[in-house]
Amino acid sequence: MFGKSPPVTEASRGFTFTRRTMLVGGAQIAVGAALVARMTYISIVDNERYVLESESNRLNLTLIPPRRGWIVDRRGKALANNRVSLRIDLIPDRVQDADKLVRDLSQLLALDADTVQRVRRDLKESAGYQPVAVAENLDEARFASVLVRLTDLPGVAPARGFARNYPAGAAVGHLIGYVGGPTAEEYQKARDPLYVTPGFKTGKDGLEKYFEPFLRGKPGARRVEVTAGGKVVRELGTQPDVQGETLHLAIDGDLQDYAARRMGPQSGACVVIDCLSGDIVAFVSMPCFDPNSFSDGIGQKEWAWLNGDTDYKPLLNKATRGLYPPGSTLKPMAALAILKGGIDPAERVNCPGGYRLGNRVFRCLGRHGPVDMPTAIEKSCNTYFYAMAHRLGYDRIAPTARELGLGEDFQISGANQRYGTIPDSMWKQRKFKQDWSASDSLNAVIGQGYVIVNPLQLAVMTARIASGKALYPSLVARKPGIIKPLSYTQDQLAVVRSGMDRVVNGNGTAVRSRLELDGIQLAGKTGTAQVRGLASGSRGQSGALRFRDHGLFVCYAPTENPRYAAAVIIEHGMGGARAAAPVAKDIFTYLYDREKAMATLDALETGWGGTIAQRMARGFAAFQGMPVDLGEGEAP
Amino acid sequence: MIPVPQTIRRFPWGLIATLVFIAGFGMLVLYSAAAGSFTPWALTHAMRFAMFLSIALLIGYLIPLEFMGRVAFLGYAAVAILLFGVEVMGAVKGGSQRWLNIGFMNLQPSELMKVAIVLALARFYSQLPPGETPTLRALWPALVLIGIPAALVMLQPDLGTALAIVASGVIVMFLAGLPIWWFVSVGVAGAAALPILYGLLHDYQQRRVLIFLNPEDDPLGAGYHITQSKIAIGSGGLDGKGFLNGSQSHLDYLPEGHTDFIFATMAEEWGLLGGLALGLAYYFLLRWSTRVALGAPTRFGKLTAAGLTMTIFFYIAINLMMVMGLAPVVGIPLPLFSHGGSSMMTIMLCVGIIIAIERDKSVGRRPFG
């Protein structure tokens, strides 16, 4: 097979060598040229890109989450502020052995399984320098235990940040809301790296959410030069964060706290309004979550505990989202409407214990005999109002209800409302395609039937009756302005007010809740709202908690020149006079004589088993110890 | 004009200047890589260079080429035994070992083999009668000579060095005049068998190949080397960030910044101009050795000089391709530039032998003339 080639000689071999050496040399030069071209390409054409990458290697820009603005009460006392929070983050780029690191940290920081899982997931998903939060609100000892081992834990970044703090805890939960880490959706929308900076929180509910842009502030930034191992070589500059603005509320923090505590173990709401300005000075819904728990990232168990309580509904803001039949608390409003309808307040209606409409008897709670308007309010006589409502028709009462704020969706910041219904014939036609009947009027006038309102509306109604002005409620402090008067004459208002005065200070339904103060008297109206219809036969005064009647009380004080108005509702309290009025009495006592009111509260709290925080801690412990079916629970 | 003695005039000053430039530049870069310190690298680099340069000159001036030819097979056998010894020692100690500690440095027999294989093959082909060149008798001994050390080195496992041995050996075979279609058909068959060869590689070697093909797949893992190296070179731009100002190397983003990836360390601070200067120096070195090969009077001299040229070239090309992302990370240092005794020893041995070949001609033409 080699025969075809010409014989190789010494000379031809030398010639071949030279030729092939030139070939190899040429190939080497070609490779060299390719290398020069490649280097030129990388360093000249792609230079900009690689300079950027080299700079982003070298420099790290760490955002410093801004401190949130404080939320303060009308006197400047903090309802929400910031406290120092010791935290541990991870820088994914610098983590070498993620598994080992997470194991070590979970031991050092006593992380629970949930957290470990979340950290692992976050580490996997986030690449680069964007830190992953491991733990916050650490105590000094745990924080130090990580600090001393820092060299063995590459990628761990300890930091001193700020966490939201609510000094009053659960008392302001529904008022202020809470903050929490931004969700993935929020980040997708905002596309702001601040949203994935550990320690950054956004408002999730209430005022915290509504005033988020106002409270947020501007983040600071820290520029450092770091090694590949994550060691900071030097700090190149820090721009401090700008704290968010301070939000001034109309709320009286002390009163808010007192009212929340005075609610005791009961479920309910209380709204107190300043009759001069319409400012909401107390806005309470109890029981409540502790917003501090939320801002720390609430545990699953605690969430289950709060969410599972279907009787007391601690997650529901009852002051604006709780809807109740207002019962007799609407009688002063009805009286005003009747007066406007041209009826003489001195006219008497005989109460034989009920009112006959056709072949049906609408019952009254007593046999009041002949009653005039103030007496009807004082005694809460249904018969009087049945008769008047039948005569006027509810279409002439509903406008007054609306003028006093019932059924209105108030534009108060942060509080997401359900505003209920003030029915009339048009409403019924629209909703049910049915004509309004006389019995609808009778039911509506005593605050039953289709009528459904929230506690804020009741408080506004009372404040408007007490002041005679179209006060508009506000949680936020505002400049005083001119408030328009209502469309009723002073005489008409005086009749209604005298009726409400007599409820407490005469011979009415709430005489036991008379203020024990010199010269200051409370005027009010009780109400009892049925949870179950009358037809069920039960009067809602016994049996399972969730079927018991709600107790309501609306009131204002002092009777001369009213200053504050309030609405209190105690769910399943079985009666306004029994459950709600005593609470209102103590809250008003607090406004005028703190020591006396505190003494009352201290005694009560001893009986209930401690402060709100103590009772919540015990309740949660019990929940964790033995999960009971709270849905079937009995009243305490 | 002051009379200069012939010996001094004929001394290869141009070559020495080139070598000193490369090693001196390397020392500067090592000084910078150590954050402006002669320790731990720059000083030893300079000292080793001085020592190996002296050895190279001693070899070139004291050992006759003819003697080298006579001991070529003996030397090959000795290095092969050392190679085998390292292998056995590694097996005994558990784990792989590539070097013998000989006091001032760790000696890698595989490095010596790069030189020994060229000498042995050159000797073999210079003794082969011209008529037998296209026969199998010209082929199988060469394959055995290459195959034994290549297999031993692959076992270590050191893919880069094994490839270097094969490449130098094959070039000698090629230049010896074996039929060109042998190389072409082996090349084609080799390309076809690439997937099978790939399967024979270790996991980490396979991974390196994959990452070479797509470094962005794993920017923080094994692709990290290539990515960071390219960032260092690319961010250097035309004239670099300046001496001692390379952030990639100083902040440890660049791995192996003083050994395999020293070119990236250099390029970051000296830029494209630094790279071109270094490239030019290598070009002078290779041009000199190629000219020596072409001009050598004996066949042994020609083949040896050309083979050693290839050995030096292989180092340079593979290393530069690697740091610029054109070749997988195989762990081959940059000759005379990287910190490390073994590669410098090999290169200077090559240089010494080529000097000897150059001096073998009766009256020297000046190498850089």
Distance between the two ends of chain B, CA-based, in angstroms?
A: 20
Nearest Cα to B262, choosing from B315, B334, B196, B311?
A: B334
CA nearest to A53 within chain B: B231
Number of A to B CB contacts under 8 A, please give it: 140
Q: Which residues of B touch A18 (CB under 8 A)?
A: 294
A76 in reach of chain B (CB within 8 A): no
Q: Which residues of A touch B299 (CB under 8 A)?
A: 13-14, 17
Q: Which residues of A touch B230 (CB under 8 A)?
A: 42, 50
Q: Smallest CA–CA separation between A290 and chain B, in Å?
A: 43
What is the Cβ-side half-sphere exposure of residue B141, based on CA atoms within 13 angstroms?
Answer: 14
Q: Whose structure tokens read 């289950």?
A: A304
Between vectors from CA A599 to CA A598 and to CA A605, what angle results, nearest 5°? 80
CA dist A31 and B64 (Å) reads: 34
Q: Smallest CA–CA separation between B133 and chain A, in Å?
A: 7
The residues in A 169-228 lying below 8 A from B, measured between CB atoms, are 225-228
pLDDT score at A532: 66
Highest mean pLDDT of the ranges A3-7, A145-149, A241-245, B131-135 = A241-245
pLDDT score at A487: 92
Q: Which residues of B touch A57 (CB under 8 A)?
A: 228, 231, 247-248, 251, 253
CA dist B326 and B315 (Å) reads: 14
3-state secondary structure of A280: strand
Q: Residue A138 is encoded by which pair of tokens? A: 């650490």
Bridge partners of A60, per DSSP, are A224
Contact A133, A252 (CB under 8 A): no
Torsion of CA A575, A288, A311, A258, to 10 degrees: -20
pLDDT at A3 over 70: no
pLDDT score at B198: 79
Q: Residue A137 is encoded by which pair of tokens? A: 């609100």
Report the mean per-residue pLDDT for chain A.
Answer: 86
- With an 8 Å Cβ cutoff, are B237 and A47 in contact? yes
Please report the DSSP string for A13-61 in residue order: HHHHHHHHHHHHHHHHHHHHHHHHHHHHIIIIISHHHHHHHHHHHHEEE
B248 in reach of chain A (CB within 8 A): yes
Q: Which residues of A touch B133 (CB under 8 A)?
A: 8, 13
pLDDT score at A634: 37
A610 in reach of chain B (CB within 8 A): no
Contact A319, A269 (CB under 8 A): yes
Q: Which residues of B touch A229 (CB under 8 A)?
A: 252
CA dist A2 and B131 (Å) reads: 11
For residue A550, what are the contacts with CB-CB under 8 A and spacing of at least 6? A324, A325, A327, A528, A529, A531, A569, A570, A571, A572, A573
Name the residue facing B248 among A13, A54, A226 (closest C-beta).
A54
Least confident of A108-112, B22-26, B188-192: A108-112
pLDDT at B261 over 50: yes
DSSP H or E stretch at residue A630: none
3-state SS of B55-113 is HHHHHHHHCCHHHHHHHHHHHHHHHHHHHHHHHHHHHHHCCCCCCEECCCCEECHHHHH
Q: Smallest CA–CA separation between A280 and chain B, in Å?
A: 57
CA dist A597 and A480 (Å) reads: 30
pLDDT score at B288: 95
Nearest Cα to A473, choosing from A454, A489, A488?
A: A454
CA nearest to A93 within chain B: B220
| Chain B interface mutation, best of A9, A12, A20, A42, highest count of B Cβ atoms under 10 Å | A42
Query: Rg of the Cα trace of chain B?
Result: 21
* Predicted confidence band of residue A118 (pLDDT cuts 50, 70, 90): confident
- With an 8 Å Cβ cutoff, are B251 and A228 in contact? yes
The residues in B 137-176 lying below 8 A from A, measured between CB atoms, are 171, 174-176
Least confident of A256-260, B68-72, B194-198, B222-226: B222-226
* Predicted confidence band of residue A430 (pLDDT cuts 50, 70, 90): very high
For residue B11, how many other CB atoms are within 10 A of its CB?
16
* Predicted confidence band of residue A107 (pLDDT cuts 50, 70, 90): confident
CA nearest to A128 within chain B: B220
Nearest Cα to B110, choosing from B256, B305, B311?
A: B311
Mean pLDDT for the stretch of residues A602-620:
87
Q: What is the pLDDT of residues B54-64, one digit of tens each?
A: 999 999 999 99
Nearest Cα to B12, choosing from B288, B280, B353, B337?
A: B288
Q: What is the pLDDT of residues A466-493, one digit of tens each?
A: 999 999 999 999 888 888 999 999 999 9
A7 in reach of chain B (CB within 8 A): yes
Count of positions (residues) in chain B:
369
pTM above 0.80, yes or no: no
pLDDT score at A391: 92
CA dist A465 and B50 (Å) reads: 105
CA nearest to B236 within chain A: A43
pLDDT score at B364: 44
Contact A350, A447 (CB under 8 A): no
Mean pLDDT for the stretch of residues A122-147:
78
- With an 8 Å Cβ cutoff, are B234 and A46 in contact? yes
Q: Whose structure tokens read 């009995």?
A: A634
Please report the DSSP string for B127-183 in residue order: HS-GGGTTSGGGTHHHHHHHHHHHHHHHHTT-HHHHHHHHHHHHHHHHHTT--HHHH
Catalytic positions of A, written as ranges: 328
pLDDT score at B97: 67
Q: What is the pLDDT of residues A28-46, one digit of tens each?
A: 999 999 999 999 999 999 9
- Cα dist. B101→A140, A341, B78, B104, B109 in Å? 52, 114, 17, 8, 11
CA dist B174 and B180 (Å) reads: 7
- With an 8 Å Cβ cutoff, are B130 and A44 in contact? no
Q: Which residues of A touch B237 (CB under 8 A)?
A: 43-44, 47, 51
Contact A515, A521 (CB under 8 A): yes
Q: Whose structure tokens read 């070899």?
A: B59
Q: Which residues of B touch A225 (CB under 8 A)?
A: 247, 251
- With an 8 Å Cβ cutoff, are A21 and B294 in contact? yes
- Cα dist. A194→A130, A132, A178, A220, A230 in Å? 10, 13, 19, 10, 21
For residue B89, how many other CB atoms are within 10 A of its CB?
12
List the strands of the sheet with A268-274, edge to edge.
Answer: A280-286, A268-274, A564-570, A550-557, A523-529
Higher per-residue pLDDT: B345 or A63: B345
A96 in reach of chain B (CB within 8 A): no
- With an 8 Å Cβ cutoff, are B293 and A54 in contact? no
Q: Where are the alpha helices (DSSP H) in A109-151?
A: 113-125, 140-147
pLDDT at B94 over 60: no
Q: Whose structure tokens read 């094969």?
A: B166
ipTM over 0.85: yes
Q: What is the pLDDT of residues B2-53, one digit of tens each?
A: 777 777 777 888 999 999 999 999 999 999 999 889 988 999 999 999 999 9
pLDDT at A540 over 80: no
- With an 8 Å Cβ cutoff, are B237 and A51 in contact? yes
- With an 8 Å Cβ cutoff, are B290 and A25 in contact? yes
CA dist A405 and A464 (Å) reads: 8
Backbone angle region of B9, left / alpha / beta, with phi > 0 → left and psi within -120 to 50 → alpha: alpha
B317 in reach of chain A (CB within 8 A): yes
For residue B29, what are the contacts with CB-CB under 8 A and spacing of at least 6? B262, B265, B266, B269, B270, B337
Count of positions (residues) in chain A:
636
Q: Where are the alpha helices (DSSP H) in A275-381?
A: 291-295, 300-308, 318-321, 331-340, 373-379
Nearest Cα to B76, choosing from B141, B157, B154?
A: B141
| Chain A interface mutation, best of B175, B226, B299, highest count of A Cβ atoms under 10 Å | B175
Q: Whose structure tokens read 């601040």?
A: A194
Q: Smallest CA–CA separation between A125 and chain B, in Å?
A: 14
A42 in reach of chain B (CB within 8 A): yes
The residues in A 109-148 lying below 8 A from B, measured between CB atoms, are 127
Buried b (16+ CB within 10 A) or exposed e, B12-33: beebbebbbbbbebbbbbbbbb
* Predicted confidence band of residue A584 (pLDDT cuts 50, 70, 90): very high
B296 in reach of chain A (CB within 8 A): no
Higher per-residue pLDDT: B329 or B129: B129
Please report the DSSP string for A351-362 in residue order: ESSEEEETTEEE
CA dist B254 and B247 (Å) reads: 9
Query: Rg of the Cα trace of chain A?
Result: 36
Contact A488, A340 (CB under 8 A): yes
Q: Which residues of B touch A12 (CB under 8 A)?
A: 130, 177
The residues in B 51-110 lying below 8 A from A, measured between CB atoms, are none
A17 in reach of chain B (CB within 8 A): yes
Contact A447, A249 (CB under 8 A): no
Q: What is the pLDDT of residues A151-201, one digit of tens each?
A: 888 888 888 888 889 998 888 888 898 888 887 788 888 777 788 788 888
CA nearest to B128 within chain A: A10
Contact A247, A69 (CB under 8 A): yes
- With an 8 Å Cβ cutoff, are B234 and A17 in contact? no
Higher per-residue pLDDT: A109 or B118: B118
* Predicted confidence band of residue B142 (pLDDT cuts 50, 70, 90): very high
CA dist A296 and A294 (Å) reads: 5
* DSSP 3-state percent helix, strand, coil across chain A (nearest 5): 45, 20, 35
Give the phi and the psi of residue A469 in degrees, each rounded to 5. Answer: -120, 155
CA dist A272 and A279 (Å) reads: 9
Bridge partners of A220, per DSSP, are A64
- Cα dist. A58→A14, A52, A156, A234 in Å? 57, 10, 18, 11
Mean pLDDT for the stretch of residues A129-149:
82
Contact A351, A361 (CB under 8 A): no
pLDDT score at A635: 37
Contact B236, B270 (CB under 8 A): yes
Mean pLDDT for the stretch of residues B241-261:
87
Nearest Cα to B303, choosing from B351, B354, B366?
A: B354
Highest mean pLDDT of the ranges A594-598, B178-182, B277-281, B321-325 = B277-281
DSSP H or E stretch at residue A595: helix A594-608
B135 in reach of chain A (CB within 8 A): yes
